[in-house]
Structure formats: structure tokens, C-alpha cells
Amino acid sequence: MSNLLNRCLGIGAAAIVLAALALGGVSAEEKKKAEPKPPACKSMKMEADCTARSDCSWVKASINAKTGKETRKAYCRTKPKSKKSA
């Protein structure tokens, strides 16, 4: 009798594990099909790409007035989030 009970419990546990693995595989496939996220603002190197997005802003290069050399390169950054009023 206990042998039969042990077998039933083992089969039930195996079925639960297989079902969980099958459901996990489905959700992984759904994630693959999801639309990819746009690139981060800081990864953009061209001004046109940066200004085309509403959540990014372009920071111009800083040039030393005396030497005429670039002291800081131009870059793209994420716009700060607006503060919500209470």
C-alpha cells in the first residue's frame, strides 16, 4: 500500500515539474516576441538621432575660447523626469 502511495506521489510531483517547465518555456517565447527596447540616450553619438526622440536631449561640446580646442565632447543624455505637483 505504501509502495503504491509513493509511486502516485512521485508521478504527481513529476507532472507538476513538467507543467512548470512547459509554462516557463511559453513565457520565455513571449518575451522574445516582445518589441525590443529603444537604445539608451547615452549610447547615441549623432545629434539627429538624439533630438529625434522626445526623452533625450543633446548637450553641445564645450570649446576653450583661448585655444579653440574641444574641452568636452558633445553627448546625448536622458531628459530629467518632470516633478509631479502635489
pLDDT reported for residue 75: 95
Report pLDDT digits (tens) over 2-60. 777 778 777 877 778 777 666 666 555 666 677 778 888 999 999 999 999 999 999 99
Say yes or no: 4 and 32 in one domain: yes
- How many domains is the chain partitioned into structurally? 2
Residue 24 placed within a domain: yes
Say yes or no: 29 and 10 in one domain: yes
Say yes or no: 54 and 30 in one domain: no
Say yes or no: 46 and 74 in one domain: yes
| Structural domain boundaries, residue 15 | 1-36
pLDDT reported for residue 57: 94
Residue 21 placed within a domain: yes
In 3-state terms, the chain is what percent helix, strand and coil (to 5)?
45, 15, 40
Report pLDDT digits (tens) over 53-85. 999 999 999 999 999 999 999 999 999 887 765
pLDDT reported for residue 59: 94
Residue 7 placed within a domain: yes
pLDDT reported for residue 4: 77
Is pTM beyond 0.75? Reply is no
Q: Count CA atoms closer than 13 A to 7's CA, side-chain side.
A: 4
